[in-house]
Amino acid sequence: MIDMNIPTLDLKAQYLTIKQEIDQKVLEVISTQRFILGPEVEALEKELADYCGTKHAVGVSSGSDALLASLMAFEVGEGDGVITTPFTFFATAGAITRLKARPVFCDIDRESCNLSPDRLTELLEGKAEKQGDTTVKGIIPIHLYGQCAEMKPIMELARKYDLFVLEDGAQAVGSEYIMPEGPRKACSIGDAGMLSFFPSKNLSCFGDGGMILTGNGEMAEKLKVLRIHGSKNKYFYEIIGGNFRLDALQAGILRVKLRHLEEWLEKRRERASYYDQRFRESGLVEEKFVLPPGPLYRNSGLKNYHTYHQYVVRVKNRDDLQTYLKNKGVSTAIYYPLPLHLQKCFAYLGYTEGDFPESERAAREVLALPIYPELTTEQQDYIISAIQEFYTH
């Protein structure tokens, strides 16, 4: 093989495909000299609410702030518990703890790496160990890697126990799930949902940005107050909020990219399917060296059954493979190398190794391979061949 240099994500390649549209929009926003909130943000909010199938959308400064502001709107505070998984990015549990509430961890499903409804049932029924004496107020299911969590049983449990549901859709804009009433997009099923527009996301801006989606008009109005320090009228404060505003430049860029999102998602699925096919042909799956991701809803009739924010395989000798691929010019990533319950900052929660075996196992095995719309078949063949070479030589 001739050595290649393949990044995990190629944002320059994406920019070149829409450069004229982006540059025009940036100049348009600059010419108005309106940079904080304003018409661009309002237009993006309407377009994303329509796209996601919600009544309201509130633009905020980042995905992390979307989580924080949402929990503030739900009036989460000291003494409250919020259930989420330990196999996620820090921001989810970080937002809970910043409000002096307690993350209550629940293990994941092995195939999807999303919140396990069975483990959630055990937790809410009091059968799980080490849940503490915290009064649980809500649930944050994470739609990890671009695939929705099992929202039907999660919503049923939430209603049974009178808990709010905040969907963490940071990695899953556009992904779909079938509820009893029909197909629904991520962030339109729970009481609220949040998106991140960090540069690595499928719908990304040129910096930080986020969005909160909800069908509750009162919550949307409260969020608009919270994002401006708690002020409805300038210099008069009804509640304590924060500086959570989305700026107009980022909103304008996102409006351009949103027009291309469905096409990009389709190309990601095409590349994921090609990986699946090549892995089957390689013999690595049968030998259990590599297990491709399990798209649970592939045969459900949903178009966006998985949006492949990441194409994550489970592999043997993960760290050695990652080093080998790096030496071959293939960049990879580990999402995530240490579950949150074992992080030093959460030691006070009292969890120990072995408490969440599926999360711990995933942390040892998962590896994200390059996937993006501009990734070529030749590049994918090179990656597969390098992996095959590692396991067979």
Q: What is the pLDDT of residues 83-95, one digit of tens each?
A: 999 999 999 999 9
95 lies in the same domain as 121: yes
Asked if the model's pLDDT at residue 356 lies above 70, the reply is yes
Asked if the model's pLDDT at residue 82 lies above 80, the reply is yes
196 lies in the same domain as 213: yes
Contact 138, 157 (CB under 8 A): no
Length of the chain: 393
The pLDDT value given to residue 133: 61
Asked if the model's pLDDT at residue 128 lies above 80, the reply is no
Contact 92, 140 (CB under 8 A): yes
280 lies in the same domain as 366: yes
Contact 83, 123 (CB under 8 A): yes
Asked if the model's pLDDT at residue 273 lies above 80, the reply is yes
The pLDDT value given to residue 283: 92
Asked if the model's pLDDT at residue 296 lies above 60, the reply is yes
- Residue scoring higher pLDDT (86 or 1): 86
Question: Average pLDDT for residues 144-154, to the nearest whole number?
Answer: 98
State the residue range of the domain holding 153. 13-258
Contact 167, 195 (CB under 8 A): no
Pairing of strands 182-185, 176-179: antiparallel
212 lies in the same domain as 276: no
The pLDDT value given to residue 132: 55
Mean of per-residue pLDDT scores for the chain? 96
159 lies in the same domain as 242: yes
197 lies in the same domain as 227: yes
| CA angle (97, 134, 65) in 5-degree steps | 25
Per residue, the 3-state secondary structure of the chain, as one string, reads CCCCCECCCCHHHHHHHCHHHHHHHHHHHHHHCCCECCHHHHHHHHHHHHHHCCCEEEEECCHHHHHHHHHHHCCCCCCEEEEECCCCCHHHHHHHHHCCCEEEECCECCCCCCECHHHHHHHHCCCCCCCCCCEEEEECCECHHHCCCCHHHHHHHHHHCCCEEEEECCCCCCCEEEECCEEEECCCCCCEEEEECCCCCCCCCCCCCEEEEECCHHHHHHHHHHCECCEEECCEECCCCCECECEHHHHHHHHHHHCCHHHHHHHHHHHHHHHHHHHHHHCCCCCCCEECCCCCCCCCCCCCCCCCCCEEEEECCHHHHHHHHHHCCECCECCCCCCHHHCHHHHHHCCCCCCCHHHHHHHHHEEEECCCCCCCHHHHHHHHHHHHHHHHC
Asked if the model's pLDDT at residue 287 lies above 90, the reply is no
Q: pLDDT tens for residues 171-194? A: 999 999 999 999 999 999 999 999
Beta bridge pairs of residue 102: 81
Q: Which of 243, 285, 272 is nearest to 391 (CA)?
A: 285
pLDDT band at 127 (very low <50, low <70, confident <90, very high): low
Any idea which residue has 């909020």 for tokens?
Answer: 241
124 lies in the same domain as 186: yes
The pLDDT value given to residue 134: 75
Contact 135, 109 (CB under 8 A): no
d(CA 304, CA 265): 8
For residue 300, what is the domain's CATH number?
A: 3.90.1150.10
Question: Average pLDDT for residues 221-241, to the nearest whole number?
Answer: 94
Task: Write down which residue in 258, 275, 309 finishes a domain.
Answer: 258
- Residue scoring higher pLDDT (133 or 253): 253
The pLDDT value given to residue 345: 97
Amino acid identity of residue 156, one-letter, is: E
Residue at 213 is within a domain: yes
pLDDT band at 3 (very low <50, low <70, confident <90, very high): confident
Contact 372, 9 (CB under 8 A): yes
Asked if the model's pLDDT at residue 198 lies above 90, the reply is yes
Q: With pLDDT > 90 as the criterion, what percentage of the chain qualifies?
A: 93
Residue 167 CA: distances (Å) to CA of 4, 253, 319: 38, 24, 31
Task: Write down which residue in 223, 238, 258 finishes a domain.
Answer: 258
- Quote the number of domains for the chain: 2
222 lies in the same domain as 362: no
Asked if the model's pLDDT at residue 126 lies above 90, the reply is no
The pLDDT value given to residue 268: 98
